[in-house]
Amino acid sequence: MNYWKAYTNLIKQNCSPFRAEKDLAYWRNNFFAGIIFYLLPLCLIALIPGLVWIYTIQAWSLAVVDLLTFAAIITVAFLPGISLVARKIIFILSSYLLGIALLYYVGLSGPGLMYLMAVCVFSLLIFPAKYAFWPALANTIILILFAIALTMDWLPWHQKDLSLGSFIAISSNLAFLSFLSAALIPVVFKGLQQTIDKGKRLSAELKAKQQSLEKALQLLESTNIELEQFAYVASHDLKEPLRMVSSFMSLLKNKYNDKLDDKAHTYIDFAIDGGNRMQRMIEDLLELSRTASQHLIKVPVDINIVVEEVQQNLFKIITDNKVAISISQKLPILSVYKSDISRLFQNLVSNAVKFRKKDVDPIIHIRFFENTEEYQFEIEDNGIGIEKEKHNKIFEIFSRLHSQKTHEGNGIGLAVCKKVVEHYGGKLWVQSEPGRGSKFCFTIKK
């Protein structure tokens, strides 16, 4: 059995019982346990030479006090079933007793005075601040009593060479120091208490904020999932009735071709056209709700290959429009969903071609940078550009700046791009001016 450990645990249990809060009382108790912990072996070591010395000066009552003090510290340390306050009071009273005995037997200017001062400081450290002036008062009373005893000649023979004047000079210093400590030490403790309180308050506030943030996040996540499911189900279920409307419209047009006048034909064409567009929009909505799906597995994807495949997919529009694409440097390998990242590049490159300037061959630069936290890509074109006020709007779903007649599209491509980029903790933005081309930039967190 480890005796040292058992000794430590016992003192801790008795003199600094468990407190959930690490407050001022906790530190006071801990300090008290520390005093007892070190004082006990010191007392034991000092006891034998102390008794020998007492024997030489034949001061038997000092021997009794010495043994009593030792017994008191043993009691404080080991006796079970007494309260912590009682332990502290026993400790302080026995220390006072020893101090008084030393003053009486050993001399009015030596170890006795040091003892009184030490007891005063110990009391200030182990009892609450409201009792701060009690030990200073006790010291003063003891010193006054000794001054009276000196005057009345009640002290042993060896104290006779100390004059009352010298004793008052020495003891008034001690009284002054006791009161000074009683005034200053609680101030330090008050500061400590305020710091502890502030720390506690801050950590409670932080915890509350963290909890509300976690709740909001959970709510957001579940709402997001619900929304995605809703978009998927709604668009999926809308497809069939819409297909029926379009096909019956076509049937109507074909079957009653001769019976319908030109106006009716135009209206039916409008309806079929609207139906087709709606069909495409639904397809796009479905695509958006599938983007960055949680079910896909991230794999290392070589972006060089992605860009190559995108060029192959867009081969026709690239060659028809004499598009020149330059890539600044070798692109990285990222751990992503391949279909998402392909869609991102394809949407941005096809937009760069779609929104080209009339009579100017499109030139597209793809650039790449990286820092410790993220990868950054840029896709720059020499197309028609975008007004500054519209820079945010174009990323909204179904938002378009051009009519169907001049540029085909549904206004969903950039919304998909934004969703993909944000899924990887990145940002997507545009730098552009009308007539000066556009630069779409996005980042992906490492």
Give 66 or 340: the residue with its C-beta nearer to ligand ADP: 340
Q: 414, 413, 423, 228: which is closest to 335 by C-alpha?
A: 423
- The single-letter DSSP state of residue 357 is P
Give 22 or 402: the residue with its C-beta nearer to ligand ADP: 402
- Give percent helix, percent strand, percent coil of the chain, each to the nearest 5: 70, 10, 25
Residue nearest to ligand ADP (CB): 409
Give 249 or 386: the residue with its C-beta nearer to ligand ADP: 386
Q: 205, 206, 188, 200: which is closest to 23 by C-alpha?
A: 200
Shortest distance (Å) from residue 399 CB to ligand ADP: 6
3-state secondary structure of 369: strand
Shortest distance (Å) from residue 327 CB to ligand ADP: 17
Residue reference for tokens 């990242």 = 341
Helix (H) or strand (E) holding 141: helix 133-152
Shortest distance (Å) from residue 277 CB to ligand ADP: 11
Shortest distance (Å) from residue 377 CB to ligand ADP: 14
Measured CA distances, 232 to 64, 225, 235, 236, 282 (Å): 92, 11, 5, 6, 9
Give 198 or 402: the residue with its C-beta nearer to ligand ADP: 402
CA–chain centroid gap for 209, Å, is: 10
Strands 428-432 and 438-445: antiparallel
Residues that bind ligand ADP (CB under 6 A): 347, 351-352, 355, 381, 383-384, 386, 394, 400-402, 409-415, 438
Shortest distance (Å) from residue 233 CB to ligand ADP: 23
Tokens of 337: 């969903």
Shortest distance (Å) from residue 436 CB to ligand ADP: 11
Give 110 or 434: the residue with its C-beta nearer to ligand ADP: 434
Please give the Cα distance from 125 to 264 (Å, whole number). Answer: 100
Shortest distance (Å) from residue 286 CB to ligand ADP: 15
Give 280 or 446: the residue with its C-beta nearer to ligand ADP: 280
Q: 179, 23, 200, 175: which is closest to 113 by C-alpha?
A: 175
Q: 204, 211, 278: which is closest to 241 by C-alpha?
A: 278
Please give the Cα distance from 155 to 110 (Å, whole number). Answer: 15
Give 253 or 427: the residue with its C-beta nearer to ligand ADP: 427
Give 28 or 419: the residue with its C-beta nearer to ligand ADP: 419
Shortest distance (Å) from residue 309 CB to ligand ADP: 19
Give 228 or 381: the residue with its C-beta nearer to ligand ADP: 381
Please give the Cα distance from 139 to 167 (Å, whole number). Answer: 14
Give 98 or 415: the residue with its C-beta nearer to ligand ADP: 415
Shortest distance (Å) from residue 352 CB to ligand ADP: 5
Strands 299-302 and 333-336: antiparallel
Q: Write the CB contacts of 370 (distance below 8 Å, at least 6 apart in sequence).
A: 332, 376, 446
User: Residue type for 304, please?
Assistant: N
Measured CA distances, 357 to 320, 383, 438 (Å): 14, 5, 11
Shortest distance (Å) from residue 412 CB to ligand ADP: 6
Q: 382, 388, 420: which is closest to 401 by C-alpha?
A: 388
Shortest distance (Å) from residue 340 CB to ligand ADP: 16
Please give the Cα distance from 218 to 212 (Å, whole number). Answer: 10
Query: Radius of gyration over alpha carbons of the chain, in Å?
Result: 45
Give 190 or 402: the residue with its C-beta nearer to ligand ADP: 402
